[in-house]
Amino acid sequence: MQRLILVGGGHAHVVALSVMAGRVPRGLEIVLVNPSSHHLYSGMLPGFLVGNYTASQCRIDLQALLQAAGAELVRARVTAIDADARCVRLDNGRTLAYDWLSLDMGSETPQAGLEPLGPRVFSVKPVAAFFDLWPTALAQAQQATSFSLSVVGAGAAGVEIAFAAAHSLRRVCPNVRVQLLSSESGLLPGHAPSVQNHITTLLKTHNIDLLTFSRDAAALRADFVLLATGAKAPALLRESKLGLDEAGYVLVDSTHRSRSHDNVFAAGDVCSRDDVPMARSGVHAVRSGAVLGANLIAVANGAPCKTYQPKAASLYLLAYAPRRAMASWGRLSVSGWLMWQLKDWIDRRFVEGHSRFVMRRAQTNGWLTR
């Protein structure tokens, strides 16, 4: 019997598990270590804030996926990895040995310079915690005559959160001030100037101030400060003995196999490709997750691995109002109700597809009996 441990039930492992369902060879035990039994889909978070979706509509049931793949869930956090000794340590004190390891723990939020703000500062990651936090922020705003919110970080996540939070807060409080603070790289780095200009105009229309953040925490006099400051490698990787890039992410090849340990794979925000530049995004986590799932089955069968080739441009759909979104694809941008319809369709299809469809497929094909 060989054991494959999956660490983190994020975008990449959700897709990997659905690819693996029904294809797991006998003699391979699969264990997912994740703090929760569901995955909350970040793409639907802005829709949750404005009331388009309930939290349960944004949730993918990991249990159903695991059952379909004949895998087991251990509800815990990994606190240490020893890639040389082939084991992981959990926050419940257990140590699990593995033959194969797959990492999809996402990334952390950089907070440097913001510690003095203390209890008023919250991070949009982990997304699951943010889903729980938002009703508290709304209740606080509802009790107040005025409320101020600063969103730090003007990438795709920060922009969407600023629009959605402004809309949501203004429904419960008469006097709301929202500011979006960008780094020196400006608004939506990596997106085309047409997208940046259009979003700048929309921010003005929606009464959201766009400022440059000087890392001076004292300048942030807000009731609530939300950090959407991008990605930082999980700290526990430093002691893992895995080969890492200079920023501390797991270095992988085009098959998403670790450069230092060939029984370890990684996908999503936690990894770094050394052959091609790849943005940390849900799009790449999902697409590389499909290749990861196929490769985890391939190595267990002694078969060759597939490679993941990221496309030069990915489609981003940025929600800026309850039923409006802007599509950003390379140099092109289109906005309005139709783009929101497209986003809503893609997001719902992803969540519902991985919750109910996989389960139905498993029941129809009799995979649940293995």
Ligand X SMILES: Cc1cc2nc3c(=O)[nH]c(=O)nc-3n(C[C@H](O)[C@H](O)[C@H](O)COP(=O)(O)OP(=O)(O)OC[C@H]3O[C@@H](n4cnc5c(N)ncnc54)[C@H](O)[C@@H]3O)c2cc1C
Minimum distance from residue 109 beta carbon to ligand X (Å): 9
Minimum distance from residue 142 beta carbon to ligand X (Å): 23
Tokens of 328: 């950003």
CA angle 99-81-268, nearest 5°?
85
Q: How far apart are CA 191 and CA 201, in angstroms?
A: 15
Nearer to ligand X by Cβ, of 11 and 261: the residue is 11
281-308 burial string, b = 16+ CB within 10 Å, else e?
bbbbbbbbbbbbbbbbbbbbeeeebbeb
Minimum distance from residue 93 beta carbon to ligand X (Å): 14
Nearer to ligand X by Cβ, of 172 and 283: the residue is 283
Nearer to ligand X by Cβ, of 179 and 367: the residue is 179
Minimum distance from residue 285 beta carbon to ligand X (Å): 4
Q: How far apart are CA 286 and CA 298, in angstroms?
A: 19
Nearer to ligand X by Cβ, of 248 and 368: the residue is 248
Q: Which of 115, 102, 110, 114 is nearest to 265 (CA)?
A: 102
Q: How many CA atoms lie within 13 A of 276 on its CB side?
A: 13
Cis peptide bond upstream of 304, omega within 30? no
Look up tokens 């807060």; give the residue: 169
Minimum distance from residue 50 beta carbon to ligand X (Å): 13
Nearer to ligand X by Cβ, of 17 and 105: the residue is 105
Burial class of residue 229 in the structure, from the number of CB atoms within 10 Å of its CB (0-12 exposed, 13-18 middle, 19+ buried): buried
88-104 burial string, b = 16+ CB within 10 Å, else e?
bbbeeeeebebebbbbb
Minimum distance from residue 26 beta carbon to ligand X (Å): 27
Nearer to ligand X by Cβ, of 270 and 367: the residue is 270
Nearer to ligand X by Cβ, of 29 and 368: the residue is 29
Nearer to ligand X by Cβ, of 59 and 125: the residue is 125
Q: How far apart are CA 302 and CA 307, in angstroms?
A: 16
For the chain, the distance separating the N- and C-terminal CA atoms, rounded to the nearest angstrom, is 15
What separation in angstroms does the CA of 14 have from each of 60, 135, 263, 331?
8, 27, 20, 30
Minimum distance from residue 125 beta carbon to ligand X (Å): 5
Q: How far apart are CA 152 and CA 13, in angstroms?
A: 29
What is the contact surface with ligand X in residues (CB under 6 A)?
A: 7-12, 33-35, 39, 42-43, 45, 77-78, 104-106, 124-127, 156-157, 160-161, 268-270, 280-283, 285, 316
Minimum distance from residue 202 beta carbon to ligand X (Å): 16
